[in-house]
Amino acid sequence: MGTPRVFSGIQPTADSFHLGNYLGAVKQWVDLQETGDALYCVVDLHAITMPYDPATLRRRTRVAAAQLIATGLDPERCILFVQSQVPEHAELAWVLSCLTGFGEASRMTQFKDKSAKGGAETASVGLFTYPMLMAADILLYRTDEVPVGEDQRQHLELSRNLAQRFNHRFGETFTVPAPYILPAVAKITDLQDPTSKMSKSSSAPQGIIDLLDEPAAIRKKINRAVTDTESVVRVDDEAKPGVTNLLRIYAALCGEKADDIAARYGDGGYGGFKKDLGDLVVDTFSPIRERTARYLSDDAALDAVLNEGARRARKIATETMARVRERSGFPPAV
């Protein structure tokens, strides 16, 4: 096999990505653009599955793209684009929706969680069909690997099933994608509630570190992170979820093993450990914050990058859709 095709997406639903997005997903995206044939997408169609404001969405889509470039995605080495600029995503999502069982879609835990929050009656049908749109994103590009956090595993399993189902019924068309999930960073937890996922929709501001946070805010949040009543720094998911989460963050940012870092601090308390971790996060995020501001200050340049990305993505997407149309019994697009 040649170079693996890599695809992933992120929603423009906040004014900044957070540490969980960065460590669980985007950092791998940057690495994989070197070894894979990579496409990365700001999934604005997914962002309208919950109530939203168009002007805010427009701004957040640009902020998302600028942060991705600032983090290290290089439009020369990967295809970076905005989902709604490639209409084939919505087109394939319809075909896949018709292959998905109602019961099968009803079992998606993200739908159950998100619809339960606002009351199931008020959830949109788009929130329900969200996983089929995600499958369309992936399958359009004949993707081999999908770098994501643990919370996306079930959606990926559905994408694999839909690829196999289509291939089985209508003939070999799609590549069956594999998840690319790194266990050490797959679930970064909330600093105030270290047994729950760090999440833009459910974490309190003190529990979540934003990529675009100011240094003082980052240090304060880490200093106040919930730990335990001992004073020893060590990995122990059961007894010390807070310290363990901080160790995982530390390890992922500096490339050392969590146990080795823990051994260095020993039982000297958490003050020095937290201070050093604060410095590490600030040193990583500050240049990204500064570059994001720079990319956002030149609208024309950012538009040019995204338009070119969409043009290149669409070329692949229309080839796949032509095959899907033929296999599905539709006349060719004109």
**Is 27 an annotated catalytic residue?**
no
Least distance in angstroms from the C-beta of 172 to ligand TRP:
22
Q: Which H or E element spans position 38? A: strand 37-42
Least distance in angstroms from the C-beta of 207 to ligand AMP:
10
What CA–CA distances, in Å, run from 5 to 93, 101, 222, 329?
20, 28, 37, 27
Alpha carbon 321 to its chain centroid, in Å, reads 25
- Residue 266, sorted as left (phi over 0), alpha (psi -120 to 50) or beta, turns out to be left
Least distance in angstroms from the C-beta of 7 to ligand TRP:
6
| Closer residue to ligand AMP, CB minimum distance, 188 or 306 | 188
- Set 27, 114, 187, 274: catalytic member: 114
Q: Any contact of residue 8 with ligand TRP (CB under 6 A)?
A: yes
Q: Any contact of residue 39 with ligand TRP (CB under 6 A)?
A: no
| Closer residue to ligand AMP, CB minimum distance, 199 or 223 | 199
Q: Any contact of residue 148 with ligand TRP (CB under 6 A)?
A: yes
Q: Which does 24 bind (CB under 5 to 8 A by kind): ligand AMP, ligand TRP, none?
A: ligand AMP
| Closer residue to ligand AMP, CB minimum distance, 225 or 321 | 225
Q: Which does 134 bind (CB under 5 to 8 A by kind): ligand TRP, ligand AMP, none?
A: ligand TRP
Q: Any contact of residue 146 with ligand TRP (CB under 6 A)?
A: yes
Do 191 and 206 touch, CB atoms closer than 8 A?
yes
Q: Distance between CA 301 and CA 205 in Å, rounded?
A: 32
| Closer residue to ligand TRP, CB minimum distance, 4 or 215 | 4
Q: Any contact of residue 137 with ligand TRP (CB under 6 A)?
A: yes
Do 194 and 241 touch, CB atoms closer than 8 A?
yes
| Closer residue to ligand AMP, CB minimum distance, 154 or 286 | 154
Question: What are the structure tokens assigned to 168, written together?
Answer: 């089985």
Least distance in angstroms from the C-beta of 146 to ligand AMP:
9
Q: 284: closest CA among 253, 323, 241, 261? A: 253
Query: Strands 78-82, 145-147: parallel, antiparallel or unpaired by DSSP?
Result: unpaired
Least distance in angstroms from the C-beta of 148 to ligand TRP:
5
Q: Distance between CA 255 and CA 121 in Å, rounded?
A: 46
**Is 240 an annotated catalytic residue?**
no
